[in-house]
Structure formats: structure tokens, C-alpha cells
Chains A and B, each alone.
Chain A
Amino acid sequence: MDSLVSIAIFVGFGMGFVLLNLLVGKLVRPSIPNSEKSAIYECGEPTIGSSWVQFDLRFYIVALFYLVFDVEVALIYPWAVVFRDFPLPAVVLGAPFIGILVIGYAYEWYTGSLDWVRSSINTSVKGTAGIDMASLARRDPGALEEEASIVRAGH
């Protein structure tokens, strides 16, 4: 309990110190804004455009795949250390785990989710991927036009 109290005092003091200094700075400093000062800081370089840009969703897929396989490595490492002689139980325990990941990976690859240029035209020709253009057109003809305009803007 004593250690908790000292930690609480430490945390409280740390937070109070920061807030107090910010407050002092706010009270003391002069406020003369100009366009140069309020510009976005980009390592000293002149900024190009706004920072409110749309981020390409495809980077998330890459990041997600990195995460999945990074976690796989993290889990396989202790597995390899525990079963260093590679006995049969190691295969029995490890194979389903890796197998399931491989199945998911193959499915993503096969359905075209990993194609960098994943346009509607591309996917509808293949007839495999996420957006089924025929049924989309049946339900919502406007969406089809929207999809096409996205593709045009992309190229």
C-alpha cells in the first residue's frame, strides 16, 4: 500500500508540474500570430497541401497483413524454442495454426483483395472479388457510376 501511495504522489506531482508550466507559459508569453507561425511544421520544408488528406485504404490491408504475420512470428518463436528437436507433437500443434493462416492468406490472394489496383473493372472481369458488379448494378445503379468515377480518378 505504501508503494502505491508513493507512486500516486509521483504521478500527481509529474502531472501537476507539466500543467503548471504550461499554465505559466500561457500567462507569460505574448500572442502575435502570423501566417508563417501558424503554418504546419514539416521538418522545416514548405508544406504541400493540407494535412487533412484521404489516406488510401489499401495501406491498411498491407499493415493488417504485416500485423498478422508478425504475430505469427511472435507465436512461432516460443513454439520453436520449446520443441527444439522437432518431434511429432510439435507438428501436430504447429501445423493447424500455420495452416489456418495460410488458408486465409490464399483466400485473400485468390479473391483479389491483395491486388494494388483493385478497380471495379479489374474485379468484375475476374468475377471473384468483393464487389459483385452485377448485383450492385441491380440494387443501386448510381453506385456503379460512382465506382467507375473512382477508377477514373485513380488513373
Chain B
Amino acid sequence: MPEIWLVLGMCAVILVPFLKRTSVALPTGAALAALFFALAATTYTLVGDSGGTAVLGTLTIDPFSQFVKLIVILFAILVIAQWIITTRGQTAAGDTPDFLCLLLGAALGMSLMSSASNLLMIFVAMESASYPSYALAGFRKRHRIGTEGSLKYVVFGSAASAIMVYGMSLVYGMTGTLNLSDIASQIAGLSHTSSAVTGTTPALAAIGLLLIFAGVAFKLSAVPMHFWCPDVFQGAPFEVTTFLSVASKGAAVALLVRLLFTLGAASPVNSGLFTGVGVGVAILGAATATWGNLVALHQTNIKRLLAYSSISHAGYMIMACSLIALAPNTATAHTAITAVLFYLVVYMFMNLGAFTVGAAIAAQQNTEDIREYAGMSKRSPILAALMTVFLLSLFGMPGLGGFMGKVFLMQAMSDAGPAGFVLIAVLLINTLLSLAYYVKPAYYMYFTADKESRPTIFPSPAALLMLFVCAAALFWTGLLANKANSFAGAHAVLMQPANAAAAAPTLINGLPTVAVPIVDRHD
């Protein structure tokens, strides 16, 4: 259970100031130690791939959840490293424990999201991932855009949570259980039971599910719920933006996969409701990818550009997730989950690299405008080359990890019949669209002369090391993708819900039987 280490780390980080008041090294060390212990705990459970449950069955521990946790925790470590290297000077020493505690708290929530298999736990996990994110987004005091973004995030997030809780209450009211697999089997039973007997209709189930998916869509910044994303990304400090762009979305993708997988495991073949869910998710993904790419075309701020880029990448992953529902067999679902996990790994390195270059430039040139990158190829050739690598990988240049990620996504889609080919077409058109804005920073860096004698930028050796590691990871996943893909494939295994076979609805006259704990009174 890596989560326990994260909780201990949170406590340790805010206890450190009692020892030494304005130390930066001590809380950072405590946070990193906790994260490394959590990483070790995750890796340890990664080896034994027996699925199991924890905390009264509300958490499912399986290879898939452990893999996502590995990504989240590893990324938290990398983000702290990025923070130390690039922007730590902007954080006041007294705020360091706050910052690290919030970061660990968000990582805790995201880890829980990847294994939550109970409606209550899903809600608690999403909130414990969201609340620290709200505070982190507005972490820069006296920063107007940051405060604005944070407020938008809070308001939007609260509304999304409320919508999701309403959906959960509908589903709970219908099925009388909070357990995801029980809900799945009851909903599956619903489609071929006369609605007059149960008093509930598939329509009500569909509305409940739709509202739950709306809450997940907020975390994914999928299209009708994406408005917070660019403002938050622009206002938040670079390391927070980096963290939210990958870890938050990765956890949300994991939650989406688990929801669809659990629903799918119980649903009979060609169930109308489940296919409807699949089509809905596919449309959501396609709309998200297209909208993100179209709006990104106009952006000149590097953070906003990468925010819209992250929206479109979330769209690609959502499209692949929909295959779990659209796929004719479990093998295709496995391919799709593998592709999503592989994509997540590649996406982590691409985004980390691109944001770190942005942060390094912002720290020394004090700009986030890509037009100010003019002449970067002369002023800082290494940074310019590395940024180009990351942007081309985000686009999907052959030889880089982003290309193989998209290839695996398309491979999974091609197994899914006609609907899959529509998705492939959407993905290809979007990839072409995205080229237009991914080359824009590169264009300014290489083909625009620097007329205002902007400063030469010297990234620190540590920053360069980090960027080279990211670039190496992209080349490795791009050229030798099979190894990483088989690793992802070995972990794209979700625990089959135990009671999927017993798909008989237990509703009596439409009233669920709710277990009320009765307190034994002796007096």
C-alpha cells in the first residue's frame, strides 16, 4: 500500500518546521523519502500480480492500478526534481512544507483513484486529488492570473463533484449498493428485465452513469468540462502545471478504464446500454481531441498551448478507452488498455520535457510567450533542439515515443471494427491539425531572427540532465517500443469482478434493500 507512505510523508513534511523553521532541504528530503518508499512499495506489489481488494473491498489492487500508481508516484518525484531545478527560487522558504504536503496529498488522491472500485471511494479519491490541486493552482500569492485560475478550478470542480454525486445517488438509489461490480451486474441485469418489475428503467441508469462520467470528464478536462484547464495551467507555477497535466489526467484515465471495464465484465454481449456508453465515450474523446487541437492553433502562451495540447491528448486516450466498451472481445480490450498505459508513459516524458524547457526559459528570460523564443537556436541551441524533440514527439514524429503511442492506439482501434476505423480517421486528422501548432515554437526558435538581443539562456546542468533523460526515454520508447509495450501489456490486467456471473437483479418492487447499521443499546 504505497498510500500509507504518502500519508506518512504528508505528516512528516509539516512536522519538519518544528525542528528547523525555514529549512527547504529537510521537508524536500522528507517528501522525496516518502515518495521513494511509496515507489518501492508499488514496485514490490507490481511483481506479484494477484488481484485483491483492500479497505473493506473499496480499493482494488491489481496490476493495472499498481502500474498507474507507479506512474503517478514516479512523476511526483520527477516534478519535485523539476521544481528544485527550475522554479524553487520563486517559492518562499516558509511555503515549502505547504507546497510539498499539497503535492503529496494530490498524489495520494490520484493513487486512490486508480484503484477505487466503490462509489464512495471514487468520490473521496477524486476530492482528495482535487482539493490539493485547487490550492496548488493558486500557489503563487499576489499572482492575479494564478488566483483567477484557482478560483475557476474550485468553482468548476465543485459543480462537477456535485453533478457526479447526484449521479452516484441515482445509481445507488437504483441498485442499493455502492460496490462497482455489484452495480455493474445489476445494471447489466436491468437491460433484459422488464422495467415494470423493477420499477427502474435503463433510462434512469443511463442518466446516473452519464452524470458520473461527467465528473470523470472534469478531471480529464474532456470537452464540455474543459474550460478550467487552460486558465489553471497558465496561472499555476510550471511544476504544478506539469503535475496536473500528467498525473491528474492519468489517474482520471485509470478511473475511466476501471469504470468501463467493470461495466463491461458484467454486461452481456451487445447490451444496448453498454454499447451506448461506449459510443458516448468515443464521441466525447473525438470531440475533446478535435476541440483541443483547433483552439490550440491560436495560442501564443506556451502554457496555454500545452494545456490545449493536453486536452487533445486526453481526447486520444479517451477514444482508446471507449474501445473497452466497443470492442467485440476481451483481447481487444486488453490491447486498448495496453495502448493507453504505453501512451501515458510516453506522454509523461514528453510533457515533463516540454514544460521543463518552458520553465527554464521563463526563469531566465521571464516570458511564457512563444514569440519571445525568437532566435533561440542561436542563443541556446541545446534547449532549442530538446524543445523541438519534445514538440515533435507530442505531434507523433516517427522515431519518437509519441509516434509509437499513436501507432498502438490505432492498432487497438483497428481491431474494433467499423467504429474503430472512424476513430482512426479522427486520430489521423487531429494529428495533422496538431502539427500546425507544435511546430510554431520551433518555427520561432529556428526561423525567426532575434532582433531585440534577448538574453542567452544557460540551463543548469541538472536541468540539462533531466531534459536529456526525457529525450532518451522518448527515443527509447520510439525506437525500441516493443519492450516498453510488453511491460505495459503485462500490467494492463484488471481484476475480474468476482460476482460478475451472478447478474440477477435483486431489486424488490423498485426499493433497494439498504443495510442500516443498528447500534446495540444495552441500557
Contact = CB atoms under 8 A, between A and B. Distances in A.
User: Real complex partners, A and B?
Assistant: yes
A11 B300 CA distance: 50
B17 A107 contact: yes
Nearest to A81: B519
A151 interface: no
A110 B17 contact: yes
Interface of A is mostly: helix
Nearest to A103: B11
Given A82-B519, A107-B97, A111-B17, A139 B90 contact: yes
Given A100-B11, A127-B22, A136 B92 contact: yes
Contacts, number: 46
Interface in A72-109: 81-82, 99-100, 103-104, 106-107
A81 B94 CA distance: 41
Interface string B94-118: 1101000000000000000000000
Contacts of A127: 21-22, 94
A56 B386 CA distance: 48
Given A81-B519, A103-B11, A104-B14, A132 B95 contact: yes
A61 interface: no
A130 B95 CA distance: 6
A129 interface: yes
A143 interface: yes
Contacts of B7: 100
Interface string B132-157: 00000000011000000000000000
Contact of A128 (B15, B17, B89, B199): B17
Interface in A1-15: 1
A143 B142 CA distance: 8
Contacts of B93: 132, 135
Contacts of B95: 130, 132
A129 B94 contact: yes
Contacts of A131: 92, 94, 141
Interface residues of B, number: 19
Contact of B94 (A100, A103, A128): A128
Interface string B63-105: 0000000000000000000000000011011110100000000
B519 A111 contact: no
Contact of A135 (B18, B21, B92, B199): B92
Contacts of A106: 18
Contact of A132 (B18, B92, B199): B92
A36 interface: no
Given A82-B519, A103-B11, A110 B92 contact: no
Contacts of A42: none
A107 B14 contact: yes
A140 interface: yes
A128 B519 contact: no
3 smallest beta-carbon distances between A and B, as pairs: A132-B92, A107-B14, A135-B92
16 contacts: A82-B519, A103-B11, A103-B14, A104-B14, A107-B97, A111-B17, A127-B21, A128-B22, A130-B92, A130-B94, A131-B94, A131-B141, A132-B92, A132-B95, A135-B89, A143-B142
